[in-house]
Amino acid sequence: MDEIKSIIHLIIGFLVLFICLIAGRLLASIIPGLLSPSVIGMIIFFLLLKTGLVNDKYVRKTSLFFVNNLVLFFLPPLVGIVLIDFNSIYGQLPAIIISAAISTILVMVVTGRLSEKYIENNN
């Protein structure tokens, strides 16, 4: 019985995510602008959970499955890397690596220090 229940939860969870994505696409086409359809879908999903319109026990399993296996779903676009003409971007490799590395450290330090300051001031 428990197995059937968990399969039903997985399916309900998927349907809820699907509906949120469709709603996100609709909203994105009505109000063209700031956010991509899937990010709008994410916000709708959060609001549905927060307002209690969707009970978290039905979506927990499916959501965590997707969150824990993100890598699986972006493998196809990644494979496109072998289709890129590397001769055309070879000269830009130093720019790519240096900018990405420095920026990653900057973001880490800035967000870490700022939040630390805020938390210290509050306590």
Partner 1 sequence: MIIENRILAEIAFASLTVLAYILSNFIYKKSKSLIFHPVFTSLITILLMLKLVNISPNEYVDNNKAMRFLLDISVVALGYLLYEHYDLLKQNLKAILFSQFIGSVVGILSVTLIAYLLGADNRMIATLAPKSVTTPIAVGLSADNGGFVPITVSIVILCGIFGAISGPFILKWFKITHPLSKGIALGSSSHGIGTSKAVEMGLKEGAAGGVSIAITGVFTSILIKILSFFLS
If the CB atoms of residues 7 and 109 are measured against partner 1, the closer one turns out to be 109
Q: How many whole angstroms separate alpha carbon 106 and alpha carbon 100?
A: 10
Token code pair at residue 43: 């916000």
One residue of 9, 10, 35, 58 binding partner 1 per CB under 8 A:
35
Q: Which of residues 97-116 bind partner 1 (CB under 8 A)?
A: 98-116
Furthest-apart CA pair in the chain: how many Å? 60
One residue of 6, 18, 31, 55 binding partner 1 per CB under 8 A:
18
> Does 119 participate in binding partner 1 (rule CB under 8 A)?
yes
Distances (CA, A) of 103 to 26, 90, 94, 107: 35, 21, 14, 6
Q: Which of residues 77-96 bind partner 1 (CB under 8 A)?
A: 77-84, 89, 91-92, 94-96
